[in-house]
Every structure is written in structure tokens, then in C-alpha cells.
Amino acid sequence: MLLRHTPKEIIERSALTINPAKTCQPIGAMYAALGVHRCLPHSHGSQGCCAYHRSALTRHYADPIMASTSSFTEGASVFGGQANLLESINNVFALYDPEIIAVNTTCLSEVIGDDITQILNKAAAENKIPHGKSVMYASTPSFKGSHVTGYENMLSAIVQNFAKSSGKRHNKITILPSFVEPSDMSEIKYIAEELGAAYIMYPDTSDVVNGPLDGKFRMYPKGGTPKALIEESGDSEYAIALGQTGTLSAAKLLDSKFKVKTKIIDLPIGISATDAFVDTLRKIAGVSVPEQLVRERGQLVDVLCDKNQYIYGKKVSLSGDPDILIGLTQFCKDAGMKILHVLSGTPSGGKFVKRIKEIAGGDVIVKEGAQADLFYFHQLIKNDKPDLILGNTYCKYIARDMDIPLIRTGFPIYDRVGHSYFPITGYRGGLHLLIKMLDAFMDRQDRDAPEEQFELVM
């Protein structure tokens, strides 16, 4: 394998990224748009760009992802994509009848400098947008940021275009989740419902990209947050944003436009972060924590205590998306593990680095941005080998080369199933994650145990 030629000596690189630990903005924007009911993502660029974005999401979720494209040719690439987008809007509404078209830009349309606002105004003036339908857009150039940045930009566009204020507050709490699996979005809703809190959550990809196979094709699955509910979010008294990198700008927009009191907390991964989410919801909604959640928390604590000897002191290296990594780092820290390395390809202006150091201590090696790539991650692991790697499918090459167990987390996961259906958030998700970690350590112990220590009972 070529990875065996990765040198241990680390040389700082400022202009070269090798095996990036991220993918491009339009993928995140497309995913966020799918979390709105009857919303069709639209890629303003070439067919190849849209095909890649759809392919990446389809491979990760093993579910067909619907999206349309402006289909740039050489002419549009030179003279601009206005004519293509106008014709696309007309055709998409006529053929596919979405309630909303969510336009995301690509490198090509961004470099050309297409004025999307002007184009959409022209589409409205020419009656290409049917009555009661909507077209919104987010600027998502692939040459900056990451898929998490694109998700954040589309989420902000959803707030900007659809949230409204009637001047009369209601008791529904708006919940804004970062880029997480549909299973995690279901778990977040489950916690809110168990608490008895009235809520509005968007985007919500549960029952959209992880729906059942029942023999019927649905262009728009039953899931996704209806536009009417998003409109109500401007009247919320409070909003809870889960994960700063993926939700910060949308949360700020709710605050600045509608004076919604906003609290930004970490994704509820593990005991302490889930405790914080439950406590925040409890206080805002004025409810008591139900016995069911107390029971689930106790089960997670019970397994952690029963099998702590397999977890405590183990060294772990993590790579992935910032909001998920913060939760996973807190989870590993709570379990008594030693965090060696934490890398995210998504830039956050240093906030991610600061937060990880707050959780894991000053000895952890943490890096973000373009140079926080998998080549550098491999070098760090060669210099200080962990007992476990947490990361996406691309980390499997490093795990194989270094003979280290890998637990797949984050995006993308192309070579395993289950992430769409089993969460890592909440107490139940924490228990699922903990069992996967224990399985990895115990499987490794069985594999390496001498004959006389190969036991039935661990």
C-alpha cells in the first residue's frame, strides 16, 4: 500500500492538502435542503457536479437522493448561467412539482459570478415560480469551507427565507441540529417528546434518507419539516442550536431578525452532553425529566461502569466533522480514555481547537482546516499509535496499515450500514456507541490472546 510510504517526520504544509478530511459545500447544502418537506435541492452548475453530490449522499445513505441541476455547458460557463437557471426553475416546477426549490451554487457558477438573487427576482417577475411555491438559494463554493459549511449556509438560507414573526410568541422551542445522521435527528426528537416539550426542529432528514422499502416510489418522502412549521419558528421564545459550527449563523439570524432567545450547546453525544441538552430543554419548557430518560441514562452508566476496565486509559485518535468530534471527544473523556489527536478539515476560526483543548486538555494535538488532512492524521498516528480510531470510511486505509481498530463515525461512511438507523446521540445512542467500542477492544483482545487466556467470560 502507498500509505506505508507516509513518512513519520512531520513537515508543515501551507499550500498542499493530501487526502482531505472533508468534502465540498454543496453536499452539505443538499443534505440540509432534504430536511425540508417537499423541497428539491438544485445544483447550479454542471451535471457532473450534481452527479457527484448525489452520488456521495446516495452511497452514504444507501438511498436514492433526488436533486436537479442547471446543466451548464460551454456556453453557460462563458456567458453565465442565468438562462439555464430560469429554464430549470420552469421545468422543475412543471415536471416534479416541489413546494420549494433549494438552489446551491457550485465552483463554476461562483467563479463566473452569477447573481442568483437577480436571477430569482427575474424568475418571479416572469411568473416562472407558481403561486404558493418558493425558490431559495445558498452560496456554497466548493473551494472554501466544507460540507459542514454548506449545511450551515443552507440552514441560514432556510431561516432567512421562511421564518416569520406574527408578533405573538408561542411555547414551541425551535431546535436546530448540526449535520448529523437521520437516526440522530430522530433521537433528538425522541428526547424532546419524552420530556413533553413542544418543539419545531429543522432540518429533519429522518424518514427522508432512511425511509422504508415498501415498493412505492416517492419523489418527496413523508419526512422533512413542513414550511408552515419553519415559518412559526420566528415566533419561538427560545431556540436551541446543537453544534456551533453547523448552526451558529442560523441561530444568530433567528436572534437578530426575530429576537428569539438562542442557546448554542454541543451535540448531545455521551452522558454529559446529553445531560446538558436534557437540562436545557427541561428548564426552557418548564417540565420534569421522565423516568424513561433517567432509566436510559442509568443503563449507559451501568455498562460503562461494568466494562470500564476495557475502556479506561485506552488511547484514541479522532477525525471528522467539528460538531460530532466535540461530542465524541467529550464521550471518550467521560469514559476515561486518553485523547491523542483530533483533526477536522472544516475551518472554524479556532473555536473548534479551543473547545477540544477545553475538553481533552492541553496535551491533545488538535488541528482544523485544509492542512488537517488524512496524510497528517496518518503521520500523527505513526508517531503515537492509539488503541482506537474514530473516523469515516477513508480512515480504513490508515487503520489497516497501522493494524488499529476503526469505528466509523461521521460522513461519509460508504462501506458499512446502520448509521442511518442507529444513533450516536442521546443516552441510547451513547450506549450503542459504547457497545461498538467495547466490541472493538474485546475482538482485538480475543484475536491477540494466548491460548491459555482465550476465555468465554470477559
Residue 117: pLDDT over 70: yes
- Say if residue 1's pLDDT is above 60: no
Helix (H, G, I), strand (E, B) or coil at 8: coil
pLDDT at position 318, please?
A: 98
What pLDDT is stored for residue 13 in this prediction? Answer: 86
Q: Left, alpha or beta for 231 (phi > 0: left; psi -120 to 50: alpha)?
A: alpha
Cell 466533522, located at residue = 321
pLDDT at 195: 97
CA distance 294 to 353: 32
Catalytic status, residue 111: yes
Bigger pLDDT: 108 vs 178: 178
- 303: cell is 455498562
Q: Which of 36, 50, 103, 107 is catalytic?
A: 107
Active site residue 303: no
| Mean predicted confidence (pLDDT) in 140-151 | 95
Instruction: Kindly tell me if the per-residue pLDDT of 74 is higher than 90.
Output: no
Residue pLDDT, tens place only, 213-257: 888 899 999 999 999 999 999 999 999 999 999 999 999 999 999
For residue 15, the model assigns a pLDDT of: 84
Q: Write down the pLDDT at residue 230.
A: 98
Measured distance CA(397)–CA(359) in Å, rounded: 28
Sheet containing 199-201: order of strands: 199-201, 173-177, 238-242, 261-265
Global pTM reads: 0.95
In the chain, pLDDT over 90 holds for what percent of residues? 89
Average pLDDT for the chain? 95
Q: Choose among 182, 187, 357: nearest CA to 269.
A: 187
279 pLDDT exceeds 90? Answer: yes
Decide if pLDDT at 63 tops 60.
Answer: yes
pLDDT of residue 458: 65
Which grid coordinates belong to 230?
Answer: 419553519
Q: How far apart (Å, rounded) are the C-alpha atoms in residues 206 and 225?
A: 10
Predicted local distance difference test score (pLDDT) of residue 412: 97
Beta pairing class for 261-265 and 315-320: unpaired
Convert the pLDDT of each residue in 154-167 to its tens digit: 999 999 999 999 98
Same fold? 2-16+296-448, 173-209+219-291 = yes
Query: Is 3 a residue whose pLDDT tops 80?
Result: no
User: Mean pLDDT, to the nearest integer, of 388-409?
Assistant: 97
CATH architecture label of 2-16+296-448: 3-Layer(aba) Sandwich (3.40)
Question: Are β-strands 365-368 and 315-320 bridged in parallel, bridged antiparallel, or unpaired?
Answer: unpaired
Categorise residue 215: left if φ over 0, alpha if ψ from -120 to 50, beta otherwise. left
Check whether 97 has a pLDDT greater than 60: yes
Give residue limits of the domains in the chain. Answer: 2-16+296-448, 25-144, 173-209+219-291
Q: Are 405 and 445 in contact (CB under 8 A)?
A: no
What pLDDT does residue 139 have? 97
Confidence of residue 274 (pLDDT cuts 50, 70, 90): very high
The string of pLDDT tens digits covering residues 313-355 is 999 999 999 999 999 999 999 999 999 999 999 999 899 999 9
- Maximum CA pair distance of the chain? 80
pLDDT for the residue numbered 2: 58
Q: What is the CATH number of domain 25-144?
A: 3.40.50.1980
Topology given in CATH for the domain delimited by 173-209+219-291:
Rossmann fold (3.40.50)
